[in-house]
Structure 1
Amino acid sequence: MTPPEPSVYPTISLTLTDLEQDSWQKLAAALEGKKDMGFKTMTLACRTANGADARTVVLRQVDVVRKYVWFHTDVRAAKVMQLEAFPDATLLFWDDTQQIQLRLTVETRLHTNDYLADEQWQTLGVGNRKNYLSEHKPGSVQPSPYPGFPTHLGAGLPSLEESENGRDNFAAIECRVLTMDYLHLSRDGQVRARFQYEPDSKMSWLAP
């Protein structure tokens, strides 16, 4: 692989190698839980039999070394069926403060009844587990507004024991990153780069 050359743009002085590492560190830092932290949420774009579908999901885990990211969902949600039919997807991150976009092409894998799903479930507090206690399938028609969990809970939290009832509805989605497209917007000049991990590892500067 050709050694990376430094960027000539005044907005960023990192080499391609530095920029790739910095991008992954930004993803990992988003898990610290600060409300103003960029990349905490992402847009998941899936293929479907009729075209495409997209929604926002929350970043739950980042493996900087192996190049994996994870998110969670209700196993009954439509996106689960979409990803089972078409495992390839795109994850779109946007940090409004830094004006940085990351676009990840990924191959997904569903985990429901294995040790990896169990490990992910154990990382969730009862506040997040509350979202998996719904008696109804996500997207199903209801006669009136429905909060997504048993109405008796209201603004309260379930007990740890009660929260375990949501385990059967929980799915962890593993995303193996195939490529990462980086874009930084600035008046001084845009910066764009692509980092490919599979089938071959390579990186290059791109025209924005």
Structure 2
Amino acid sequence: MPTLRPYNSITLQLSNFYSVNSLNDLERDAWLWLTSAPKRKRDGFKTMTLATRTLDGVNARTVVLRKADADAKTLWFHTDVRSDKVGELSRHPKATLLFWDNRRQIQLRLSVTTAPHTDDAIASEHWAGLWVGGRKMYLSEHMPGLPYPEPYPGFPAQFGENLPTEAESEAGRNNFLVVECRVLTMDYLHLSRAGQTRARFRYEPFPGMEWLVP
């Protein structure tokens, strides 16, 4: 497996600015960051903004990157099956994922097509790997986004600051959904006083890569 290079090592020299090898290296680094981010607690790419189409416009919210596969060009995140984003994605499966890492000063903007997983092997694999603290948020008796007469923590009040047991957490399985995001294109932007770097990587329907004007 390629070694994850320091984030500042991708700064390109003018002499090789248009070289195909540099584009390949840049894409490799981007996917290494994405695949490693779920395992790094403070990684800037651990969370992303999900933008979806609604009946009257666009909606956006932050979700947690749970897994990325560089070979399959696919990412996954978790959500409550009752949330608005699930209905939005069922009507319009294409969405945008926006990553920003302040330390690296890098933005990744991914155009994706999504697929839901609830009662299959993918959903079961993700649920099995989710610790009880994460499962706790799927124990809510109420649909996310509904009006409520007082602040609601997102789970039954009896748990408070305590974690559910493994057995108690299983009650959230029916509310758990995994969203698979197959990447169609990835737009890369690196900000620097020495000069910005922008590129696009296309995967579907026709693979390709190119430099872009920032």
| TM-score higher than 0.5 | yes
- Residue 188, structure 1, aligned to residue 194, structure 2: yes
Measured after TM superposition, the shift of residue 8 of structure 1 is: 3.8
Measured after TM superposition, the shift of residue 7 of structure 1 is: 4.5
Q: Tell me which of 16, 20, 23 is aligned to 2:30.
A: 23
| TM-score computed with the length of structure 1 as normaliser | 0.93
SS at match of 1:15: helix
CA offset digits 1:90-132 (Å, max 9, x no partner):
0000000010000000000011111111111111000000000
| AA matched with 1:143 | P
Flag structure 1 segments of 5+ consecutive residues without an equivalent.
Answer: 1-5
Q: Tell me which of 27, 33, 43 is aligned to 2:40.
A: 33
Flag structure 2 segments of 5+ consecutive residues without an equivalent.
Answer: 1-10
Aligned residues: 201
| Contact 1:129-1:166 within 8 A present in 2 as well | yes
Paired with 1:8 and 1:179, the residues of 2 have a C-alpha distance of: 25
Q: Tell me which residue corresponds to 2:172.
A: 166
Q: Tell me which residue corresponds to 1:110.
A: 116
| TM-score computed with the length of structure 2 as normaliser | 0.91
Q: Which moved more, 1:189-198 or 1:110-119?
A: 110-119
| Contact 1:102-1:182 within 8 A present in 2 as well | yes
| Contact 1:69-1:176 within 8 A present in 2 as well | yes
| Contact 1:9-1:189 within 8 A present in 2 as well | no
| AA matched with 1:130 | K
Over the matched positions of the two proteins, sequence identity in percent amounts to 59
Could you say which structure has the higher helix fraction? 2
Q: Tell me which of 71, 78, 88 is aligned to 1:72.
A: 78
Stretches of 4+ aligned residues off by more than 6 angstroms: none
Measured after TM superposition, the shift of residue 33 of structure 1 is: 2.9
Paired with 1:34 and 1:81, the residues of 2 have a C-alpha distance of: 30
